[in-house]
Structure 1
Amino acid sequence: MTDNIKQVRIVEVGPRDGLQNISSIISTKKKVEYINRLTKSGLPEIEVTSFVSPKWVPQLADSFEVSNSITKDPSITYTALIPNQRGLDRAIDAGYTSIAVLTATSETFSQKNTNCSISDGLKVLKSMVPSWSKSSLRVRGYISTVWHCPYEGAINAKSVLTIIDQLLDIGISEISLGDTIGKATPDEIKRTLETILYRFDASHFAFHMHDTFGHAEENIHVGLEMGITTYDSSAGGLGGCPYAPGASGNVATESVISICESLGIHTGVDKNLLKSAGDYMIGVIDQGVFERA
């Protein structure tokens, strides 16, 4: 089926998902430089930051300043993750036209990641619909622990379908399916995706793969074979979820580009400029670690 795919859309999550876990605080100036470099690489979408409480993610305390300091390209979608109405209001004030929200299939993970149950989290999302509709925002939804949970183990695909139904019902246009701890094998990816695509069109979905156990690239191949054309990734493979033990390592954007190039699929991203941006931030992080040593 990859013969039918001519173009893949990459969502660069490095500035948010890649940095949120870094303990050494990176200056606003360096974050802005990093995002500006990513912009120059031709990425179609960049997730810039999250309007979350600094108490939970200190690294992103400067979300408003970063958002208003980057040089935006009108051809690129800039997205911010928002956890609640307060975060949504701040994102709107910062000029965002695209936001991301999150939920999970695992109750334990939901409690640890968002401090509320899945049901309560979905109620929060539903309560924000009037606000994001009034502002004509495009809304992207993350589902964590689609295949495995670090606390509850393997996830039943029926749980995933239930969440997908509810997200689509409230107008979320794209749903990113997360292999949060990077444990899913290609066979598991295929089985769950077959269940999902029996009910829903592939155009609704993106993949968010972690490479913890080295399966990410194989899993992306499975996604492509089954018609998934949007992939979240992080330049240099930075990041991972702070509430998923051992799950550091988003799949590298460079790897996604290489997979696509090997299959003759266009991404529109300059791999050299992308790598330069990733190398820049890796250098910043390494310097921060060195300075604290």
Structure 2
Amino acid sequence: MTAQIIDGTAVAAKAYDRIQADVQEFTRIYGRAPVLATVLVGDDPASQTYVRMKANRCKSVGMESRRIEIPAEASTEEVVARIEELSQDPGVDGILLQHPVPAHVDGRAAFEAIIPSKDVDGVTYASFAKMALGATGFRAATPGGILSLLDAYDVPLAGKHAVVIGRSPILGKPAGMLLLERDATVTYCHSKTKDLDAIVSTADIVIAAVGRPELIQGSWIKPGAVVIDAGYNPGNVGDVEYEKASEAASLITPVPGGVGPMTIATLLEQTVAAALDARTLTAT
């Protein structure tokens, strides 16, 4: 068996067509495009690249991207104050804080400065709670993108055993919650999990989100399992041993070109939704 590749770039392209149509309609009705403000603290090269990619994608669908640069030496209070300004700015529809932030900045405090109605990256306590409880709100962008990929390839979730390796509050934990909401049986694993290989070998769906290159060995994958690799490590290496895992899996995401494109697509989708929600509230 050779796994079918889950083509995140192709799925994202279809999403961008829908987003572009929605942006054009929004702009026609309201006289301006939806606006995503991206906050970058410091000058980390990788973060600079990610912010540039998001800005380019916004431009490609007709959205406006505002880049807010804050010096690396800024205090938590200064970062929070700037984000609070954006939260109160009626000309901004969505806010993204590029992470990680410098070590001396309290990242959680910075996230919580984003009002939930503009939390298009799904990073606040309020967004997590709504998502976990199945309420209306913004999903964490990468987990939301993962669910969109699974749906695009008609992967059944109800009753399936999903193993999530990683417990990040913006990736592993919300991914598991979204799967649970769709009636999957979810097992969380992490750096202190014993017999990780044995647990992964029971999974119908594997979500690798631990940030360690090729931690998940191909020999651990159950024949026919669906493998979603949300890791990205230097050298374009994911968290899964791709070649060997492909020999057992039925579906697998490549790195790059799998989860990444759908993360950005989800971010833009949610920015358009936030813009529409704001206009609805204003109208009422």
- Structure 2 length normalisation: TM-score? 0.33
